[in-house]
Chains A and B, each alone.
Chain A
Amino acid sequence: MRTLYPPAIDRAFDFAVANSLYDRLAEIGDDLNTLSDAGYTPRLADTWVWAADSLSIAFNLNPRARWHDTQPVRAEDVRFTFRAYTDTAGISVNGSYLSNIDSVSVRDSLTPVVWFKRRAPQQFFDATYHMYILPSHRLAGIPMAKLGRDSLTAKPVGSGRFRFVSREDSKHIDMVSDTGNYRGRAKLDRVVWAVSANLQGATLSVFGGDADFFEKLQPEDLGQVAKSPDLKLLPYLQAGYAFLTFNLKANGDSTKPHPIFGDVRVRRALSMAVNRPASAMSVLDTFAVASFGPAPRMMFQNPAALKELPFDVAHAKALLDSAGWIVPGGKADRGKAERSKDGVPLAFEIVLPNTSKPRLHYATLLADQFREVGATATVRGIETSLMGPAVGMGRFDTYLGALTVTPGLKGMTQSWGGRGVHGLNYGWYANSRFDATVDSALAAFTPSKSSDLWVRAFQVILDDAPAIWLYEERNLGVLHKRIQVAPMRADAWYANLADWSVNPAQRIARDKNSGAVR
C-alpha cells in the first residue's frame, strides 16, 4: 500500500482500493471497447454530448452526485482532476495517457467540457478511463508538489459507493458502504483489505478462514480448495500475456546486432522448437492458453486470421542448419549436441524476475525444448529491482516477461514499437512497417477497419518473431462460498466490487460484526 491518491498510484492493490472509493466520469464496458463510446455506462456523468467537430465532449454531471463529505460534485472537480494528473510539478505517474487531451473547461457548475488536440478513435476512452475524479474543494488549496503526500491524502474523500474508514500500514484498510450514494449503496456493508507479506500469506488467510477472497491463487493450491468445504474457485480472464523476448542487439552493446538473435531465421527456428500449448498446459494446467501474439485474445478481434509459426522441430533444425548453426562434425548423438557457428556456441541465458513461479517453471521447459534442437539455455531469476539495470539496459540475451495490456492496445508502441526501444521494448525490435501499421490501426475509427489493420500489423511482428508468444494466464481467485460476485472484468477484477454480496442464507459469525459502522 503506497498511496490512495489516484494520480500517483502504480500498484494493482492500490488501484483496487481506490477504484471502490473514487468514480470515473463513465465506466468502460466489460468488452473493454475503446473505439467511440459504445458500451460505456454512466458514472459521475449522466449523459454526454459530442461537439459537431468531435474535438470536445461536454459531460453532464449527475446532480445527485456527492462527495463522501456531503459536498456536491461539480465540474470544477473535473478540471482540477485533469490538472492534478498532468501537472509535472506534482507526483502524478498516470498522466502520459492523457496526452491527447488539451484541457478541461467549465461550462457551468454541472458541465465540464473535455477538449482534445486531435480526433482519434480513443477520445472517449482517454477522457474517462484514466482519471478518477478528485474533490477540488479539499485539494485545490494544496501546492502541487505536496499534493499526494500521505499526510494530506491520508483520509481519501471520494464519490464511490464505498467510503473510506481507516487504514493501518501493513495491516489493513477498512471501508464501508456509502449509504447515501447517488448510485445506491454498495451491497456489501463493509470490506476490509488485509495486507499480507507475500502470496502464500494471503492464500493462507483464505484457507484459514480469516479472509474471504484472494485474487491470485497459485495452481499448486488448487487441491487445497477442493478439500475445503467453504471455498470455491473463481477463474477469470486477465488482460495480459507472457513472452520470451530476444535481444536483437548484442548483450550490453546496442551498436552491434546480437550474434545469435540478430538473425530472423534463428528466432523463427527457436519459436518453432517450442510446443506452446503443451508447455502452457504443463505449467498451469487448464488455466492458461497459448498466446498468439503481443495481445490477449479478448482484446483482439480476429486471432484466427493470423498465420502463426507452427510447432515443428524438424523444420526448426533445418532452419538452424541453413542459418549456419551446425552440430560439430560427426557427432550423431540423439541430435542434442550443442550447435555452433564460427566458433560461437548456440548458448544463451534466459533472464526473468524471480517472483513468478509459473514463469520460472516455463523457463525450465523452454530450456529443455531448446536443448532438443541444439541450443543451450541457462535460466536465471533476478530481483525485480534489477530489471532496470539488467534488462532495461539491454544487458541480457533473452527475457521472459509478462505484460498487462491497457484496453485499446495503445501500449503497443511502447512495448514493441520503434519508439519504445528506450522504454519497454527491451529487445530493440524496430520495424518501420510494423510501427506504421500500428499507428494506422490506432487511428482507425471503425471496428472492422481497426481489426484489419491490427491483423496486418500483427502478421508483421509474428513473421519477424522478435519474441516467442508464450501464454495467457487465467487468473484464479479463491472465494468463500457465501459470497456472490458480480462479473469480473479482465483489466480490473475489482471493478464491480460494489455489487458483490453475501448470501443471507449462508452468513457466518463475522458477518454480524460487519454490520457495525465504525
Chain B
Amino acid sequence: MSRASGWTRGSAADASSLAVTVAGTDGNVRVTSERTNWHRPVALLLLFMGLVLIAPSFAPYDLAQQTTVSATKNQAPSLLHPMGTDATDRDVFTLVLRGAQISLSIGLGSVSIALLIGAAYGALAAMLGGWRETLLMRITDVSLAVPRFLILLAVTSISVKAFTSLQLMLLIGCTGWFGMARLMRGEVSALLQRDWVLAAQATGVHRLRLAVHHLFPHLVPMLLVFTTIGIGHTIVLEAALAFLGAGGSGASLGFLLHSGSSIFASTWWLAVFPGLAIVLLVFACNALGDALRDVFSPEQVHSWPTT
C-alpha cells in the first residue's frame, strides 16, 4: 500500500508481481503509443526534485536569526509570510523548504541503501540457486513478517541522543530492503532461464561479468521504478514516525507536522503546509514512477509495481 502503512511487505512490488501472473505472456496485445513523449515528464520531475534539494539556500528568511520579540509569532499567512509564522517567529515557508530538503534526502538515502542491499542480496540468491537460494529467501520472508513500523516506532521514539538524518536513513534503509530482494531474485531467476543467458554462460562468460553486463541493463527499469515509488513511501513513513513524536530529525516535514498537529485547530498553517509539501513530493515521485513504468511497460509489464 502506498500510504503510511507498508507494515510488513516493504514495497507494493510483491503484490504487483502477482497482479501480473494474470496477464500471462500469451497473446498480449498492447498499445505502444506515446513512447517518445516520456522525456518531458521525467525531465520535469527530476528538475523538481533537484530544486527541492537546493531550495533552502534561496529561502527568504534566515532561520538562525530569531528574535525575542513576540510580535511576529503565530501569524496567519500573509504577504510577508505566505505560509505564516510559528511560535518562535520563524517563517513557515522557509521551514517547509528546509523540511522538504531533509525529507527528500532521507528518502533518497534510505532507498539507495535498501536498493543496494536488496538488489545484491536478491541477485546473489538467484545466482546461487538451490537450497542456498531457498534459505536466503526464507530469511527475507520471515523478515517481511516482522512489524517494521512498530520496530521503527519503538527504536526512533526512544533514544537518548537525537537521531541525525543519516542515522534515520540507515535505519529505514536497512529495514526496508526485503521487498527489493524478493523482486530482484524473481527477476534474475526469470532472466537466468532465458536462452541467451544460458548461451552466454555456455560460452564461459564469468558470473560477475554476466551479472553486470548482461543482466543489469534489463533490470534497470525495474530498479528505477522501485526507487521512485520507494522514495515516496519513505517520505511518508518518516513523516508518520515523526508525526507520532518519534524520529529525532527535528526539521523534516514530518516533524513540522508533528509540532503543528498539536495546535492545528487554531494555527492551521503550521500543519497544513508541511503536509501539502509532503503530498507534492510524494506525488512527484509517484508520477515519475508511473511515467517510467509506462515507458518500459510493453515488454516489461511483469516486473512493475503498479502503485
Q: Do chains A and B touch in the complex (CB under 8 A)?
A: yes
Residues of A participating in the B interface, judged by any CB pair closer than 8 Å: 198-200, 203-204, 207, 218, 220-224, 275, 278-279, 281-282, 285, 354, 357, 361, 364-365, 368-369, 380-383, 385-386, 389-390, 395
Q: Of B67-75, B106-114, B286-294, which binds chain A?
A: B67-75
B68:A369 contact, CB within 8 angstroms: yes
> For the complex, is B87 an interface residue (Cβ under 8 Å from A)?
yes
A368:B70 contact, CB within 8 angstroms: no
Nearest Cβ in chain A — how far from B170, in angstroms?
20
Q: A389 — which chain B residues lie within 8 A by C-beta?
A: 160
Nearest Cβ in chain B — how far from A126, in angstroms?
38
A386:B160 contact, CB within 8 angstroms: yes
Given known pairs A282-B69, A354-B245, A361-B87, the reply for A220 and B158 (CB within 8 Å) is no
B160:A220 contact, CB within 8 angstroms: no
Q: Roughly how many angstroms separate A220 CA and B263 CA in the complex, as a whole number?
A: 7
Nearest Cβ in chain B — how far from A396, in angstroms?
10
Q: B267 — which chain A residues lie within 8 A by C-beta?
A: 220
Q: Roughly how many angstroms separate A198 CA and B263 CA in the complex, as a whole number?
A: 11
Residue of B whose beta carbon sits closest to that of A386: B160
Q: Tell me if B's interface is mostly helix, strand, loop or mixed.
A: loop
Q: A220 — which chain B residues lie within 8 A by C-beta?
A: 74, 87, 263, 266-267
Taking a contact as CB atoms closer than 8 A, the residue among A203, A380, A390 that contacts B265 in the complex is: A203
Residue of B whose beta carbon sits closest to that of A367: B66
Contact pattern, B 56-78, Cβ under 8 Å of A = 1, otherwise 0:
00000000001111100110000
B70:A282 contact, CB within 8 angstroms: yes
Given known pairs A364-B88, A386-B160, A389-B160, the reply for A198 and B68 (CB within 8 Å) is no
- Chain B residues numbered 171-220 whose CB sits less than 8 Å from any CB in chain A: none
Q: Roughly how many angstroms separate A331 CA and B265 CA in the complex, as a whole number?
A: 47
Taking a contact as CB atoms closer than 8 A, the residue among A223, A285, A380 that contacts B162 in the complex is: A380
Q: B73 — which chain A residues lie within 8 A by C-beta?
A: 282
Taking a contact as CB atoms closer than 8 A, the residue among B68, B69, B74, B263 that contacts A200 in the complex is: B263
Residue of A whose beta carbon sits closest to that of B245: A354
Given known pairs A282-B69, A385-B158, A389-B160, the reply for A204 and B262 (CB within 8 Å) is no
Q: A222 — which chain B residues lie within 8 A by C-beta?
A: 266
Q: A380 — which chain B residues lie within 8 A by C-beta?
A: 162
Q: A278 — which chain B residues lie within 8 A by C-beta?
A: 68
> For the complex, is B261 an interface residue (Cβ under 8 Å from A)?
yes
Between-chain CB contacts (< 8 Å), 11 pairs: A199-B262, A200-B265, A203-B265, A218-B262, A220-B87, A357-B259, A365-B88, A380-B162, A383-B158, A389-B160, A395-B160
Q: B259 — which chain A residues lie within 8 A by C-beta?
A: 357
A281:B265 contact, CB within 8 angstroms: no
Q: Roughly how many angstroms separate A381 CA and B162 CA in the complex, as a whole number?
A: 8
> For the complex, is B17 an interface residue (Cβ under 8 Å from A)?
no
Q: Roughly how many angstroms separate A223 CA and B160 CA in the complex, as a whole number?
A: 36
Q: A361 — which chain B residues lie within 8 A by C-beta?
A: 87-88
Q: Roughly how many angstroms separate A200 CA and B271 CA in the complex, as a whole number?
A: 13
Nearest Cβ in chain A — how far from B21, in angstroms?
43
Q: A368 — which chain B residues lie within 8 A by C-beta?
A: 66-68
B88:A200 contact, CB within 8 angstroms: no
Nearest Cβ in chain B — how far from A226, in angstroms?
10
A282:B261 contact, CB within 8 angstroms: no
A200:B262 contact, CB within 8 angstroms: yes
> For the complex, is B297 an interface residue (Cβ under 8 Å from A)?
no
Q: Roughly how many angstroms separate A223 CA and B265 CA in the complex, as a whole number?
A: 10
